[in-house]
Homo-oligomer: A and B are copies of this chain.
Amino acid sequence: MELNVALLPGDGIGPEVIDQAVKVCDAIAKKYNHNIKWTTALTGAAAIDAVGEPYPDETHEICVNADAVLFGAIGHPRFDNDPSAKVRPEQGLLKMRQKLGLFANVRPTFTFPSLIDKSPLKQERIEGTDLIFLRELTSGIYFGKRGREDDGNTAYDTCTYTRAEVQRLAKKGFEMAMTRSKKLCCVDKANVLESSRLWRETVQAMEKDYPEVEVSYEFVDAVAMRLVQWPNSYDVLITENLFGDILTDEASVISGSMGLMPSASLGEKTALFEPIHGSYPQAAGKNIANPLATVLSAAMMFETAFGLNDEAKAIRAVVDKSLNEGIVTEDLSGDNKAYKTTEVGDWLVENI
Residues of chain A whose beta carbon lies under 8 Å from any beta carbon of chain B:
75, 79-81, 83-84, 88, 90, 94, 120-122, 125, 141-142, 144, 146-148, 150, 153-164, 189-195, 197-198, 200-201, 204, 217, 220-222, 224-225, 227-229, 242-243, 245-250, 252-254, 258
Contact = CB atoms under 8 A, between A and B. Distances in A.
A318 to B, nearest CB: 28
- Which secondary structure dominates chain A's binding surface? helix
Q: Give me the 4 closest cross-chain CB pairs, A-B, nearest first.
A: A155-B198, A221-B249, A83-B197, A224-B250
Given A155-B161, A156-B159, A246 B220 contact: yes
A157 B80 contact: no
A158 B157 contact: yes
A334 B147 CA distance: 53
Given A84-B197, A224-B224, 7 more contacts: A84-B201, A148-B198, A153-B163, A154-B198, A155-B197, A224-B249, A224-B250
Given A156-B144, A157-B159, A221 B195 contact: no
A129 to B, nearest CB: 12
B246 A228 contact: no
5 contacts: A80-B217, A83-B190, A90-B191, A155-B194, A224-B224
Given A155-B161, A159-B156, A148 B249 contact: no
A194 B81 contact: no
Given A122-B120, A122-B121, A122-B122, A156 B194 contact: yes
